[in-house]
């Protein structure tokens, strides 16, 4: 498993969105590393990490996060997730509650209509991208990366991550659509939790509804954010985390 890290202090483990890598947290990590030890993981199958032996469930990905923490000597950490990274983090929090200091969910993937949510797995935008001899698969990667109308350098970074992941690029989405019974997860997240809503996210997953299922949670909003917020607005994203966790007294717990 490949990862990036920096800083000193309480540990923060960052989990990227589907089709991405730890690269999306480079700027956020630089900011948070002034007060925390920040670890940004390449989830198995993404970035520089090995591919899993088969398609993993979200729970299995959560197990790999625990194994990673064991390997680097981190007993307890704050978790930051972006989109499907949030869903992996929530699985982790219910499986290993004693290892979580707090969680920040960046646009938790949530829908009150489970059947509609599951049906999304068949949409063209979530189908695997297979290599083609003429290179046209690269255009499909760029097209998917460009869906939020971000600057070219951000689209390029996202497209490169999709290229690194290859046919596994949408595998976290597929795992998500198989494991979306949120009422079996969110009510059992027993730690300080912040949901962050992205104001320009076209999917409009309702963070308020997700927060209502999660005891003691709060909702913040970054109005100009898309799912690429860690690349486009790293200062605002980091500021939300620091607002809630920099002085929460959790370091000695």
pLDDT 10s digit of each residue in the chain, 253 long?
A: 999 999 999 999 999 999 999 999 999 999 999 999 999 999 999 999 999 999 999 999 999 999 999 999 999 999 999 999 999 999 999 999 999 999 999 999 988 888 888 888 889 999 999 999 999 999 999 999 999 989 999 999 999 999 999 999 999 999 999 887 888 899 999 999 999 999 888 555 689 999 999 999 999 999 999 999 999 999 999 999 999 999 875 433 3
Q: What is the pLDDT of residue 206?
A: 84
Q: In this structure, are residues 15 and 85 in contact, taking their beta carbons and an 8 Å threshold?
A: yes
Q: The whole model's pTM is what?
A: 0.95
Which string of b and e fits 74-99 if b means at least 16 CB within 10 Å?
beebbbbbbbbbbbbbbbbbbeeeeb
Query: Nearest to residue 14, comparing CAs of 59, 170, 33, 136?
Result: 33
For helices 58-72 and 171-178, the axis angle rounded to 10 degrees is 120
Query: Nearest to residue 165, comparing CAs of 3, 28, 13, 52?
Result: 52
Annotation: CATH topology of 3-111+182-248: Rossmann fold (3.40.50)
Distance (Å, rounded) from C-alpha 158 to C-alpha 234? 15
Neighbours of 208 (CB within 10 A): 10
Q: What is the pLDDT of residue 73?
A: 97
Q: What is the pLDDT of residue 203?
A: 58
**Tokens representing 234?**
């790293």
Q: What is the pLDDT of residue 253?
A: 35
Q: What is the pLDDT of residue 237?
A: 98
């Amino acid at each position: 498993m490949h990862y990036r890290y920096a800083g000193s202090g309480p540990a923060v483990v960052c989990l990227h969105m589907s089709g991405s890598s730890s690269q999306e947290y480079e700027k956020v990590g630089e900011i948070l590393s002034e007060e925390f030890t920040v670890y940004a993981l390449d989830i198995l199958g993404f970035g520089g990490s090995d591919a899993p032996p088969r398609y993993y469930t979200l729970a299995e990905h959560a197990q790999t996060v625990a194994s990673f923490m064991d390997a680097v000597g981190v007993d307890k950490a704050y978790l930051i997730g972006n989109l499907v990274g949030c869903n992996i983090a929530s699985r982790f929090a219910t499986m290993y509650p004693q290892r979580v200091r707090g969680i920040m969910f960046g646009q938790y993937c949530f829908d009150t209509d489970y059947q509609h949510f599951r049906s999304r797995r068949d949409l063209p935008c979530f189908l695997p991208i297979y290599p083609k001899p003429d290179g046209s698969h690269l255009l499909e990667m760029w097209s998917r990366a460009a869906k939020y109308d971000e600057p070219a350098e951000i689209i390029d970074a996202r497209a490169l991550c999709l290229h690194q992941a290859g046919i596994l690029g949408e595998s976290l989405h597929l795992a998500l659509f198989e494991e979306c019974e949120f009422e079996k997860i969110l009510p059992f997240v027993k730690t300080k939790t912040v949901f962050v809503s992205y104001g320009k996210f076209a999917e409009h997953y309702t963070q308020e509804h997700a927060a209502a299922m999660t005891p003691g949670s709060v909702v913040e909003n970054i109005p100009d954010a898309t799912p690429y917020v860690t690349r486009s607005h790293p200062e605002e994203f980091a500021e939300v985390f620091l607002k809630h966790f920099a002085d929460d007294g959790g370091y000695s717990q």
